[in-house]
């Protein structure tokens, strides 16, 4: 039998876990005749999001590295959610050429695109570069999604579509002075590199709304919560993993809970375009999260980088 102390600890744990799970959002929208693209849907909250969209009847295109793997995951999600249609295309966000090929397939095969969920992300313990010679986290987490969004923008505008960028509260690690765009191997730091890319996700949503909101699109950014059982968490340094595991017992979210803010921003009328969200509601980003000058500078820098790489 449990003693009084153990009972109190158990109650505290479950109450804390319930609070940590955040506001719950369970959509019931009929998504028949809706086309949705989800990147990074092989596992984690991206896969959960794709599954939930399909359950509601949507046509879901999952972007996953490797065509064989993409088709396999699409078939697995299809079996879990038979109401919709799930298709898998090869997408490697660290390679601008494959981003272009992915976008071209969608532009060729689809007459509408209602939601683009930019979910995919990576981390790297050591300094690495993408196929295009860009620092890996910056290239995969920001430049690739920015390029993909830009390529699909005409279809999104014609569909009055939504663009949802999965960011992170890690963006708060970037100092108030802003981003340092040139990263050298000698000064590379995994957490700062990740934080920088996640701040850029917020700025991109902010700028997309400012530049194209009048044309009918709606752009959002979000923090999904602390989710430990992801590749991102496993790639962190050991001391960071230990800290995350400790706090994760109390404040960590399950995959399903972590996907809820993505679903909220994708489907709810309560989500606010151009804003940052957490726990299925609008939240305040860091003090530079809505800095228009910095956001515009980041946009222009990214556009120039892409132009240089693809020319």
Residue 24, classed as helix, strand or coil, is coil
Active site residue 194: yes
DSSP state of 135: B
pLDDT at 235: 58
Cβ atoms of 135 and 126 closer than 8 Å: no
User: Which candidate, 288, 310, 302, 32, places its Cα nearest to that of 149?
Assistant: 302
pLDDT at 19: 43
Calpha distance 185→254 (Å, rounded): 34
The pLDDT tens digits along the chain (311 residues) read 445 544 433 333 333 344 444 578 889 999 999 999 999 999 999 999 999 999 999 999 999 999 999 999 999 999 999 999 999 999 999 999 999 999 999 999 999 999 999 999 999 999 999 999 999 999 999 999 999 999 999 999 999 999 999 999 999 999 999 999 999 999 999 999 999 999 999 999 999 999 999 999 999 999 999 876 555 555 556 655 565 555 555 567 899 999 999 999 999 999 999 999 999 999 999 999 999 999 999 999 999 999 999 99
CATH for 25-310 (3.40.50.720, 3.40.605.10, 1.10.8.60, 2.40.100.20): 3.40.50.720
pLDDT at 31: 98
The CA–CA distances, whole Å, from 72 to 49, 64, 238 equal 17, 10, 32
pLDDT at 226: 82
Return the CA Rg of the chain.
Answer: 19
Count CB atoms within 10 A of the CB of residue 226: 18
DSSP state of 119: -
pLDDT at 8: 38
Calpha distance 99→89 (Å, rounded): 11
pLDDT at 227: 73
Token readout for 263 is 């679903």
DSSP of 133-191: SSBHHHIIIIIHHHHHHHHHHHHHHHTT-EEEEE--GGGGGS-TT-------GGG--HH
pTM, rounded to two decimals: 0.89
DSSP state of 143: I
pLDDT at 59: 99
Calpha distance 175→103 (Å, rounded): 34
Token readout for 66 is 């490797």
Q: Could you tell me which residues are beta bridge partners of residue 223?
A: 278
Token readout for 84 is 């919709």
Buried b (16+ CB within 10 A) or exposed e, 21-31: bbeebebeeeb
Any idea what the Cα angle at residue 295 is, between residues 173 and 275, rounded to 5°?
80
User: Which candidate, 66, 209, 65, places its Cα nearest to that of 149?
Assistant: 209
Task: Please pick, among 147, 194, 220, 301, the residue that the annotation labels catalytic.
Answer: 194
Calpha distance 122→295 (Å, rounded): 22
């Amino acid at each position: 039998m449990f003693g009084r102390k153990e009972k109190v600890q158990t109650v505290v744990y479950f109450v804390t876990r319930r609070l940590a799970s955040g506001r719950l959002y369970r959509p019931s929208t009929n998504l028949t005749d809706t086309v949705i693209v989800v990147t990074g849907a092989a596992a984690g909250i991206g896969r959960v999001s794709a599954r939930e969209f399909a359950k509601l009847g949507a046509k879901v295109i999952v972007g996953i590295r490797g065509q064989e793997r993409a088709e396999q995951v699409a078939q697995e999600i299809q079996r879990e959610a038979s109401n919709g249609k799930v298709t898998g295309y090869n997408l490697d966000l660290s390679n601008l050429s494959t981003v272009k090929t992915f976008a071209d397939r969608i532009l060729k095969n689809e007459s509408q695109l209602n939601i683009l969920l930019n979910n995919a992300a990576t981390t790297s313990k050591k300094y690495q570069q993408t196929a295009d010679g860009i620092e890996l986290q910056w290239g995969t987490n920001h430049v690739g999604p920015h390029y993909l969004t830009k390529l699909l923008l005409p279809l999104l505008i014609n569909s009055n579509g939504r663009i949802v960028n999965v960011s992170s509260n890690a963006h708060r690690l970037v100092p108030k002075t802003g981003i340092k765009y040139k990263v050298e191997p000698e000064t590379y730091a995994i957490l700062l590199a990740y934080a920088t890319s996640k701040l850029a996700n917020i700025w991109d949503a902010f700028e997309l709304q400012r530049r194209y909101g009048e044309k009918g699109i709606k752009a959002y950014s979000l923090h999904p919560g602390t989710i430990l059982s992801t590749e991102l968490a496993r790639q962190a340094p050991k001391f960071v993993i230990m800290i995350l595991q400790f706090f994760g017992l109390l404040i960590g979210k399950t995959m399903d809970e972590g996907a809820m803010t993505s679903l909220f921003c994708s489907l709810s009328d309560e989500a606010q375009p151009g804003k940052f969200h957490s726990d299925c509601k609008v939240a305040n980003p860091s003090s530079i999260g809505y800095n228009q000058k910095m956001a515009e500078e980041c946009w222009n820098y990214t556009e120039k980088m892409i132009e240089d790489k693809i020319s």
